[in-house]
Structure 1
Amino acid sequence: MTETPAPSSPLTIRDFRYFLLARFFANWGTLSMVVILGYQLYETARGPVYGMSIRDASFYLGLLGLAQFVPLLMLAPVTGWTADRFERRTIVRIANGVDLIIALALTFFTWSGTLTLPSLFALAALHGAARGFIGPASSSITPNIVSAEQLPRAIAMSTIAWQAAAISGPAVAGYLYASHPTSAYVFSSVSLIVSILALTPIRRVVPPPMARDRHPLRQMLDGLTYVRGHRFLLGAITLDLFAVLLGGATALLPVYARDILHVGPQGLGELRTATAAGAAIVALWFAFNPLKDNVGVKMLFAVAGFGGATILFGISTWMPLSALALALLGACDMFSVYVRSSLVQLHTPDAMRGRVSAVSGVAISASNELGEVQSGVAAALLGPVGAIVVGGAAAVAIAAGWAYLFPEIRRARTFAPPPQIQETVA
């Protein structure tokens, strides 16, 4: 009997192609929606109704991140358990449906001129809850439709889809918003509908059955217990957590676009595009040239580079230099994300992937959304430039500190999981 040859590329797998399509359109819709929502919040806070100063409005941008993070954190045990208990494709479609409702609500509020700060915060919180369910289920689908050998390349290709959406989505939404504010959210709504439809042809992805002798609450906490018991995973996840938490500049981009670089909503989309372009170039490289050696050390250097690029962006007042700094920032961040994502997926048994991905997702969201809070508070105290420069320096220090606190990261030569996990990751 002739054996079927292994796929030469993840792109030869039909389900993976549909997954990439769904991921692209989902992120095209949600990233565009979140970027415009942030700009509208800052513009509303600075407008005649609220009349806030730059520092006060920057602080509210930070609170927007907190509004998205709190529901994600509270739901994390449930979202990870759900991804390991129920059909994963269906979970993603339902959560994308919630984001579609949010986009339609923003369309109506913008069209009717009834946007308020409370309504923006409420919709941002609902989006945070939806993201909590999307992350663990979506990240657990890929290892079930490609082989372990193809997984690093599949992760790079999946990231290309994400970054392609991040490059084009906010830029398109920025121009649409400048021409007619409502059209930006119509764009997001249509994108989310396409994403939901693209997930339909993918075969059902049902996780392995859970042990029936353990209480569901204990099962929900198993992901956290697993990460705590594996210093390598703990170090990789917390490295990204603290570096981006302290060094993130994304939350203050509306401040730079409106009041420092004076480029408006179009410029805001271009700044977001620059970050995504740098990340996409690195992801495209890894899709065809997978990283093979010294993966841990290279991840540490990438995090340090992320901090240096953040400092450069913070001190720049020239749009081309600012865009270049953000492109470098995105490239370094993508390098780190690629290594961490591959290591986490390959070092986690399939039955635990949803719950471990939920822990990783909380860390990523904490670094992003709580990073926005940190940026807002720091900007209120130090001004936006001081906040970003100090944060970038902190990210460099984190990379150096983690190299000594977690020698397991420095010693990671390849993506190969330990023998006891190799038997269970397939």
Structure 2
Amino acid sequence: MANARQVLRHASVRRYLLSTALAAVGHNLLVTVLFKQVFDITGDELDIGLIGLAQFVPALLLVLASGWVADRFDRRRVSALFLLGRGACAVALVAYSASQPGAVWPLFAIAFVLGASDAMLSPARRSIPPLIVEQAEFPQVVALWTATFTGSAIVGPVLGGFLYSVGPDIAYAVAAALELASIVPILAVVYVRDEERLTDRPSLSAAMEGLHFVRRTPIVLAVISLDLFAVLFGGAIALIPAVASERLGVGDIAYGWLRAAPGIGAATMAVWLAIRPVQRHVGATLLVVVGVFGAGTMVFGITRNYTVAFLALVVVAAADMVSMYIRGSIVPLVTPNEQLGRVTAVEGVFIGASNELGAFESGVAARAFGLPWAIAGGGFITVLIAGSFAVLFPSLRRVDTFDELEPVSPSSV
């Protein structure tokens, strides 16, 4: 397996990672401020959940179209187009915040458009890495991508906390600039492997192939549905604004650092994975780290101590990073390239459900049961889910190394 230094010699890898860093910092900054702004206006945890729901619904509605577009057109240009869309959403938020707002419905409308841009962007952008390096180097690119992505999850929230204290319009303006700046390097990426595009006319059958592949390939179904159910019930990050205000009693800057805690844990683990990637007992490791994710969520839900809450989020995110790394390696390795965009679109709905829909579930549960029970109870359910998947999906539990995985022929599924 190639090491990080060898992989970074490829100019296209560096350009892809630079685009990822700029876009992810901008997006994390924007979401940090958006969640905080809506909670400060209404004081209602449910509205945080509704913002998450507004971002998720487009992913569900566009799952067939987004995957087909990623497999039919140049993935670099598709990515650039919808990064432009995200930048436009940030500009709209600048205008909203500068108008001294009182109503929150424009935030939900912008969040919906932002979710649509994300839904179209994700399959195209996440299907690029297998084309810029040889297959033997791909797991290392995944590790570098996750390190970059999660490092951005530190910078974005911390920057968001500081800039929000200055003014949300300033924060959104910086987010817009970062999103737009990410377009140039993604367009400069050069492929070293052939991009096998769809050539057939659009059809429902072609669009549905990604869904059929996931449903008929047990290991792919297992890894992405595990993420769905675990983070759906254990997704406490969306409730950080309420926890910071109601249980920990801290201000905007401390909130920004608390929102950055998951990024710190994830980035630390990503660096470790770049140096010491998972090489054995891949399936068992995935199941264990999901259990750790649930246990850390339980601690975060119970504590009233800022330091303990911060450390719990670090542990939760570090465990989630291992899960992301393993899932991000397994899915492309077993998916034929000509179907990767459509499969990634389906995966994106699962991931979107586990984050945005998970935010909605957390908001509803917090309204119904209170913050501690909503968060800690979800963590407990996540632990149970990890145990049940070990029984329900033996093919996942038995995966030992990435090298034993290879693309599954469409005819065999």
Q: TM-score range by the shorter chain?
A: over 0.9
Distance 1:6 1:243 in 2: 31
The answer to whether 1:416 aligns with 2:413 is no
Match of 1:208 in 2: 196
Query: Against the structure 1 CA distance between its residues 278 and 7, is the aligned structure 2 distance closer, same or farther, given a 3 Å change threshold?
Result: closer
8 Å Cα contact 1:93-1:196 kept in structure 2 = yes
- Cα distance in structure 2, aligned partners of 1:203 and 1:148: 16
Decide whether the 8 Å contact of 1:10 with 1:153 is kept in 2: yes
How far apart are the structure 1 equivalents of 2:170 and 2:8? 33
1:181-203, Cα deviation, whole Å (9 max, x unpaired): 32111210111121112223223
Change in Cα spacing, 1:255 to 1:8, as seen in structure 2 (3 Å) is closer
Q: 1:26 aligns with which of 23, 30, 36?
A: 23
How many angstroms does 1:262 deviate by?
1.5
Deviations 1:373-426 (A, max 9, x none): 111111111101110010000000000000000001110001125456499xxx
Equivalent pairs counted in the alignment come to: 409
- Whether 1:36 and 2:33 are equivalent positions in the alignment is yes
* 1:374 partner letter: E
Where does structure 1 differ by over 6 angstroms across 4 or more consecutive aligned residues? 5-8
Alignment partner, residue 261 of structure 1: 248
What's the counterpart of residue 268 of structure 2?
A: 281
Segments of 5+ residues of structure 1 without an aligned counterpart are 47-56
Provide the residue aligned with 1:226 in structure 2. 213
Tell me the CA shift for residue 259 of structure 1.
1.7
Matched AA of 2:10: I
Aligned to 2:300: 313
Give the structure 2 partner of residue 84 of structure 1: 71
Aligned to 1:298: 285
TM-score, normalising length: structure 1: 0.92
- Once residues 284 and 299 of structure 1 are traced to their aligned partners in structure 2, the CA distance between those partners, rounded to angstroms, is 18
Please report how far the alpha carbon of residue 290 of structure 1 lies from its aligned counterpart in structure 2 after TM superposition.
1.7
AA paired with 2:221? L
Distance, in Å, in 1 between the alignment partners of 2:351 and 2:4 is 31
2 CA distance for matches of 1:313 and 1:363?
Answer: 24
For residues 189 and 418 of structure 1, do their structure 2 counterparts lie closer, same or farther at Cα, with a shift above 3 Å needed? closer
Q: Does 1:160 align with 2:152?
A: no
Which amino acid counterpart does residue 20 of structure 1 have in structure 2?
Answer: L
Is contact 2:71–2:340 with CA below 8 Å preserved after alignment?
yes
The answer on whether the counterparts of 1:279 and 1:327 sit within 8 Å (CA) in structure 2 is yes
Query: Which AA in structure 1 matches 2:242?
Result: V
Query: How far, CA to CA, are the matches of 2:327 and 2:167 in structure 1?
Result: 40
For the residues of structure 1 that align with 2:19 and 2:359, how far apart are their CA atoms? Answer: 27
Shift of 1:209: 3.3
The separation in 2 between residues aligned to 1:102 and 1:211, in whole angstroms, is 32
The question of whether the paired residues in 2 share the 8 Å contact of 1:299 and 1:335 is answered with yes
Q: Report the TM-score, using the length of structure 2 for normalisation.
A: 0.95
Counterpart-to-counterpart distance in 1, 2:178 and 2:93: 15
1:190 counterpart = 2:177: yes
| Structure-2 separation of matches of 1:7 and 1:72 | 33
Counterpart for residue 366 of structure 2 = 379
Tell me the residue number matched to 1:180: 167
The one-letter code matched in structure 2 to 1:415 is F
Listed as ranges, the gaps of 5+ residues in structure 2 are none
- Cα distance in 1 for residues equivalent to 2:113 and 2:282: 36
Aligned to 2:57: 70
Task: State the Cα deviation string for residues 129-177 of structure 1 (Å, max 9, x = none).
Answer: 0111111111110000011111111011011111111101110111111
Does residue 137 of structure 2 align to residue 140 of structure 1? Answer: no
SS in 1 for 2:370: helix
- Structural RMSD (CA): 2.0
The separation in 2 between residues aligned to 1:405 and 1:34, in whole angstroms, is 35
Deviations 1:50-98 (A, max 9, x none): xxxxxxx111111111111111110010000100000001111111111
Going from structure 1 to structure 2, the CA distance change for 1:185 and 1:8 (only over 3 Å counts) comes to: closer
Residue of structure 1 aligned with 2:320, choices 311, 333, 339: 333
CA pair 406-112 structure 1, distance change in 2 beyond 3 A: same
The SS at the match of 1:207 is coil
Equivalents in 2 of 1:28, 1:8: separation in Å?
A: 23
Identify which of 42, 46, 51 aligns with 1:45: 42
Q: Is the 8 A contact 1:86 1:206 kept in 2?
A: no
Partner of 1:112: 99
Cα deviation, residue 30, structure 1: 1.0
User: AA paired with 1:27?
Assistant: A
SS of 1:150's partner is helix
Q: What is the rounded CA distance, in whole Å, between the counterparts of 2:277 and 2:373 in structure 1?
A: 37
Partner residue, 1:13: 10
Q: Distance in 2 between matches of 1:154 and 1:420?
A: 18
User: What CA distance in whole angstroms lies between the structure 2 residues aligned with 1:101 and 1:133?
Assistant: 15
Check conservation: 2:233, 2:378, Cα contact below 8 A: yes
Provide the secondary structure at the position in 1 that maps to 2:314. Answer: helix
8 Å CA contact 1:346, 1:416 repeated in 2: no
**Distance change in 2, residues 1:418/1:64 (3 Å):** same
Q: Once the two structures are aligned, what percentage of the paired residues are identical?
A: 38
Contact 1:314 1:386 in 2 (8 A): yes
Mean CA deviation greater in 103-112 or 410-419: 410-419
Q: Which moved more, 1:57-66 or 1:195-204?
A: 195-204
Q: State the 1:114 CA deviation.
A: 2.7
Contact 2:151 2:266 in 1 (8 A): no
